[in-house]
């Protein structure tokens, strides 16, 4: 029952936040965010012997569906990412006066409940339900509290909703087919199926459409930049920091073990498509004039590299993909929060209208620079550990992939440092820039601390995820 209590905490937190009223909602939401983080660390301690935490109870008899959850090393890493980022995202919103704040903060906690459920579900139908539930809160967060013209916001959000819902229906069709073959939705039973090459191809493609849209991988990325730009900062952080990790996690947990023959047969094409996203995202980021849009395309480039690592089908690739998922989650939340801090003071995200912030806010400048250096995978940062491991895995597959994938570091360093120069250095903006307040500083310091701590000492996470990765590789190579 221990892992069920975690989900209940998120649900109770969402309800309590909504009932607390607009004035108290941010504080109540933060309280529950911190409680769930503490409880997640308690669950990690219960796993200290390496034994997964499991819960299963009968739910629906026809079809045979169980309320089945499991927290192994891979799931726990994603749970900890979600639990750590949620209070930081909530705290980051304290500087913005939201209308109907209780609904916004309640939706944040409910969305985290659904995402954590996705990471733990071991019944395919339950997994699909959690997957779809996470879409509802972000739809309303982006639509009701987003930026810019309402009509443009509607178009961007509806496109995102239709894309992701449509892709998920293909995944549902694949899950139903697997149920008909196994007579069960249980993940362990689905792993035991021995499908033909043709069957695996269609199962793989059903999953791929859902995950390629969620991650996103080009050419299924067209919703991303506009939604990231139109969503409020807290929504963008939820999308980029946690929600896209659902797709990457699912590639490892569901897609690759279910259809390993297709993954191996189309390996070069899958890696090539992922690396194309690295190059495309980096080149488009170079041309962006809006700070938030630049960060959106930068994120596209980085997740392309993560996907390439996953499709390398090597131990280093899968492990590096998970490490980079965690590192990317923290750094992208930090960078989008920096963009929000700047917009709060200048009411603009246009890079050409910014400049000279360093002279007015040296503390903020220092924290921003550390995030930029982590983003470009400076040695001693968490991102370096993940990217180096992924690139090493690509070298094992084909040296050309490693060279092409390495462009994310070179191009990323160029456009991120150029952006930093334009925004923080140069001529001082006529409008004064107030130094960061305590909650802004706390969020940024916490993120920077995580990025450098695990950049110097990633062994605890590596030890946590390795047994799960080994089990997945066993299924892939069966």
For the residues of 160-211, what is the DSSP string, one character each?
HHHHHHHHHHHHHHHHHHHHHHHS--BHHHHHT----HHHHHHHHHHHHHHH
Handedness of CA 114, 228, 327, 392 (dihedral sign): positive
**Domain definitions of the chain by residue range:** 269-478
Spatial CA neighbour of 79 closest among 233, 242, 237: 242
Instruction: Tell me how far apart the alpha carbons of residues 307 and 277 are, in angstroms, rounded to a whole number.
Output: 10
What contacts 15, CB < 8 A, 6 or more positions away?
106
pLDDT digits (tens, 9 = 90+) for 74-126: 999 999 999 999 999 999 988 788 899 999 999 999 999 999 999 999 999 99
The residue among 437 and 326 whose pLDDT is bigger is 326
pLDDT at 350: 87
The pLDDT > 90 percentage for the chain reads: 69
Over residues 48-73, the mean pLDDT reads 87
pLDDT digits (tens, 9 = 90+) for 122-170: 999 999 999 999 999 999 999 999 887 788 888 888 989 998 998 899 9
Number of H helices, E strands in the chain: 24, 2
pLDDT at 429: 66
Q: Are 149 and 227 in contact (CB under 8 A)?
A: no
User: Is the bond into 63 cis (omega within 30 degrees of 0)?
Assistant: yes
Asked if residue 59 has pLDDT above 90, the reply is no
Asked if residue 57 has pLDDT above 70, the reply is yes
Over residues 307-328, the mean pLDDT reads 95
Over residues 302-322, the mean pLDDT reads 94
Instruction: Tell me how far apart the alpha carbons of residues 62 and 56 are, in angstroms, rounded to a whole number.
Output: 17
Instruction: Tell me how far apart the alpha carbons of residues 90 and 83 are, in angstroms, rounded to a whole number.
Output: 11
Tokens 């409940």 belong to which residue? 113
Asked if residue 471 has pLDDT above 70, the reply is yes
pLDDT at 435: 83
Q: Is 355 helix (H, G, I), strand (E, B) or coil?
A: coil
Q: How confident is the model at residue 430 (pLDDT cuts 50, 70, 90)?
A: low
User: Is the bond into 219 cis (omega within 30 degrees of 0)?
Assistant: yes
User: DSSP state, 435?
Assistant: P
Tokens 């199926």 belong to which residue? 193
User: DSSP state, 290?
Assistant: B
């Amino acid at each position: 029952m221990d892992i069920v209590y975690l989900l209940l905490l998120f649900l109770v937190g969402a309800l309590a936040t909504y009932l607390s009223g607009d004035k108290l909602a941010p504080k109540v939401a933060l309280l529950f965010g911190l409680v769930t983080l503490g409880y997640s660390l308690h669950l990690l301690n219960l796993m200290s012997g390496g034994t997964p935490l499991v819960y299963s109870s009968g739910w629906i008899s026809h079809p045979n569906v169980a309320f089945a959850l499991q927290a192994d090393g891979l799931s726990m890493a994603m749970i900890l990412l979600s639990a750590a980022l949620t209070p930081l995202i909530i705290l980051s919103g304290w500087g913005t006066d939201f209308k109907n704040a209780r609904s916004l903060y309640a939706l944040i906690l409910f969305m985290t409940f659904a995402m954590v459920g996705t990471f733990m579900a071991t019944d395919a139908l339950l997994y699909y339900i959690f997957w779809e539930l996470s879409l509802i809160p972000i739809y309303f967060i982006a639509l009701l509290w987003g930026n810019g013209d309402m009509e443009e916001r509607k178009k961007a959000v509806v496109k995102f909703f239709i894309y992701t819902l449509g892709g998920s229906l293909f995944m549902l069709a694949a899950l139903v087919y697997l149920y008909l073959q196994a007579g069960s939705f249980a993940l362990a039973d689905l792993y035991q199926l021995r499908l033909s090459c043709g069957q695996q191809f269609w199962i793989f493609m059903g999953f791929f459409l859902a995950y390629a849209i969620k991650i996103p991988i080009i050419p299924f990325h067209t919703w991303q930049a506009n939604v990231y730009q139109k969503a409020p900062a807290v929504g963008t952080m939820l999308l980029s920091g946690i929600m896209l990790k659902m797709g990457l996690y699912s590639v490892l947990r569901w897609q690759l073990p279910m259809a390993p023959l297709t993954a191996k047969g189309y390996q070069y094409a899958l890696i090539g498509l992922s690396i194309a996203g690295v190059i495309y995202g980096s080149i488009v980021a170079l041309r962006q004039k809006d700070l938030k849009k630049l960060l959106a395309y930068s994120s596209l480039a980085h997740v392309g590299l993560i996907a390439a690592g996953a499709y390398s089908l090597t131990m280093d690739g899968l492990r590096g993909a998970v490490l980079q998922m965690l590192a990317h989650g923290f750094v992208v939340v930090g960078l989008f929060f920096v963009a929000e801090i700047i917009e709060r003071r200048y009411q603009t995200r246009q890079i050409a209208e910014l400049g000279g912030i360093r002279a007015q806010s040296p503390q903020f400048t220092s924290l921003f620079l550390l995030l930029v250096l982590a983003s470009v995978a400076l040695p001693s940062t968490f991102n370096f550990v993940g990217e180096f491991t992924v690139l090493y895995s690509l070298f094992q597959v084909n040296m050309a992939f490693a060279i092409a994938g390495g462009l994310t570091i070179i191009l990323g360093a160029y456009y991120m440092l150029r952006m930093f120069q334009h925004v923080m250095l140069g001529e001082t903006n006529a409008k004064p820039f107030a130094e960061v307040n305590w909650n802004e500083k706390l969020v940024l310091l916490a993120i920077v601390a995580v990025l450098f701590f695990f950049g110097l000492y990633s062994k605890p996470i590596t030890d946590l995820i390795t047994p799960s990765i080994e089990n997945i590789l066993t299924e892939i190579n069966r």
